[in-house]
Amino acid sequence: MSLELKEITIDKPVEICNNHVIILLENFKKGNISKHTLLDWVNTVWFSGLFEYCDENCDSIASVMNELEEIDENGKELTYEKIKRYIYALKNNIEII
């Protein structure tokens, strides 16, 4: 059985705001979603071209998403301290340095 992937195009990308990312991070922290599910979402947002970041929080969202993508790529640990740092950055609209 072969699996065919369909290319999806949309007129207007779905907007991702800081609250969307915060909710996912909080759900991971509570154990409601797995690291795998969280990072799959990050990869879908990152690589599909179907999403864009809210203008007012673009830099903080991009910096957190970049950190999460690096965790996925390099197999790093996603600690509660990192999650707290990411949520703080998103709530205060600051970039992760």
| Residue 69 covered by a domain | yes
Encode pLDDT of 10-48 as tens digits: 788 899 999 999 999 999 999 999 999 999 999 999 888
Domain membership of residue 37 (yes or no) is yes
Q: pLDDT over 70 for what percent of the chain?
A: 94
Residue 82 lies in a domain: yes
- What's the structural domain count of the chain? 1
Nearest-angstrom CA–CA distance, 68 and 81: 13
> Quick one: DSSP state of residue 75?
T
Q: Considering only 1-15, 17-31, 69-83, which range has the smallest mean pLDDT?
A: 1-15
Task: Give the residue numbers spanning the domain of 27.
Answer: 14-91
Among residues 84, 19, 97, the alpha carbon closest in space to that of 54 is found at 19
Q: Report the pLDDT value the prediction gives residue 1, as an integer from 0 to 100.
A: 52
Classify residue 35: in a domain, yes or no.
yes
